[in-house]
Amino acid sequence: MELALSEEGARRVRVQAQLLDGRSTTRRNVAAVVSQIVGVQAQDVTAAELSIRARTRGLIRDDIYQTLTDTRSLVLTWSLRGTRHFHHADDVRWLLALLGPVFGRPGRRSQQLGIAGDVGDNAVRVISAALKSHGSLTRREVKDLLARHGVDSSGQAPIHVLHRAAFEGVLCIVPDPDGEERYVSLDDWVPQTSPVPPDGAAAELARRFLTAYGPATLADFAAWSGLRAVTTKQAWTAISGELSDVALPTGSAWVLTSRRKVIGAAANHPMPVRLVGAFDALLLGYADRSLHVLPEHARDVNAGGGLIRPVVLVDGKVVATWKYQSTRSSHRVEIAPFGALTADERAGLEYEVRDIGRFLGTAPRLMLNARQTAS
């Protein structure tokens, strides 16, 4: 029997699956949270940290770095859509095997930068050998190394070599709280095992996507993963026997049949106020974001160039954008609401701002756009 959800119900189901409901049992396990949503985009590491905060309870920023460097159960590398992500260590190998041939293959830009063909092949080998010999390299050391082997290090060539090397499983990234980053050998950092066989990787990714983003569509899966249409269709077909239709006001979507009972409960449970970071997974998971972002506010959230601003969620709907402003003498969270806020919503904002301060080790003030008043 087909399941029907209202827009409100669909938003709530997605928020619950994204661990933004405040009730998850994995609240103090950074790697488990990241695994649940199949990665956190980390082009901006601070934004990724803030999105992880919104899905956890009691963690501080340093806990993320300890997970990266001590237990190494969290890994930073290039993956979905060709962008940087935090991933659970168990997911890195099979994701790279699936995504590497799509995003790591040298293309026109590599030719323009002079790192296609033998030059690019040699550059990757040089980095691999240096990492095995020295243990790690900084960005400056990578540039100097490549310059000695015929690569123009004055422009974008070095980062493109690193990008390719990451997709070929040569390296991963270790960020630093102070903004520096270094590159290490993936073989030394992550066990050379994978729980997912290569011929089942695309189907597993589709399954994991629907676990964390359903109800969703094939178009959503394609936009989120960045995989070719033929691959996403094959993956969707491979798990078709595990899917249930969902009727939404915006059209048909799908969920994993195994999640139907959870979906029914989540749809009737209001979701709390959450401040999530830029490029948050909830918004990156869909080709059509209209369930969460009203069309008249789409440009406020996505101003162009792929930038997804930090947003305020109230019961799964984006009601404001926000930013964290810090100087030597003050810290503040500035919120730009799209409309008037209720007293309960204001209280939720104040709680979240205090929690951001706890997470970062600061004490920010809440500042609302002066044109908006509570109702």
Sheet holding 251-256, edge to edge: 3-4, 243-248, 251-256
The predicted pLDDT at position 24 comes to: 55
User: In b/e form, how buried is each residue of 171-198, taking b as 16+ CB within 10 angstroms?
Assistant: bbbbbeeeeeebbbbbeebbeeebebee
Q: Identify the band that residue 375 occupies on the pLDDT scale cut at 50, 70 and 90.
A: very low
Is 67:30 a contact under the CB 8 Å cutoff? yes
The predicted pLDDT at position 155 comes to: 92
Is 231:202 a contact under the CB 8 Å cutoff? yes
Helix (H, G, I), strand (E, B) or coil at 276: strand
Average confidence (pLDDT) over 64-76? 94
**Residue 26 per-residue DSSP state:** T
- Distances in Å between the Cα of 70 and the Cα atoms of 21, 75, 268, 346 are 29, 11, 40, 38
Instruction: Tell me the fold of 198-262.
Output: Arc Repressor Mutant, subunit A (1.10.10)
One-letter amino acid of 19: L
pLDDT at 356 over 80: yes
Q: Identify the band that residue 261 occupies on the pLDDT scale cut at 50, 70 and 90.
A: confident
Q: Which residues pair with 332 in a beta bridge?
A: 325, 365
- Tens-place pLDDT, residues 325-335: 998 889 999 99
The predicted pLDDT at position 373 comes to: 39
What percentage of residues in the chain have a pLDDT greater than 90? 84
Domains of the chain by residue range: 3-189, 198-262, 284-368
The predicted pLDDT at position 374 comes to: 40
Is 163:78 a contact under the CB 8 Å cutoff? yes
pTM, two decimals, is 0.94
The predicted pLDDT at position 366 comes to: 96
One-letter amino acid of 367: M
Residue 195 CA to residue 51 CA, distance in Å, equals 26
The predicted pLDDT at position 1 comes to: 60
Please give the residue that has the higher pLDDT: either 266 or 223: 223
- Tens-place pLDDT, residues 231-240: 999 999 999 9
Residue 166 CA to residue 295 CA, distance in Å, equals 37
Average confidence (pLDDT) over 176-199? 88
The predicted pLDDT at position 26 comes to: 52
Is 313:322 a contact under the CB 8 Å cutoff? no
- Distances in Å between the Cα of 97 and the Cα atoms of 127, 184, 193, 206 are 20, 19, 12, 15
Burial class (CB in 10 A: 0-12, 13-18, 19+), 375: exposed
The predicted pLDDT at position 37 comes to: 96
The predicted pLDDT at position 306 comes to: 83
Sheet holding 274-276, edge to edge: 274-276, 311-314, 317-326, 331-337, 365-368
> Is residue 324 within a helix (H) or strand (E), and if so which, with residue range?
strand 317-326
Q: Identify the band that residue 371 occupies on the pLDDT scale cut at 50, 70 and 90.
A: very low
Mean pLDDT of the chain: 93
The predicted pLDDT at position 245 comes to: 94
One-letter amino acid of 350: E
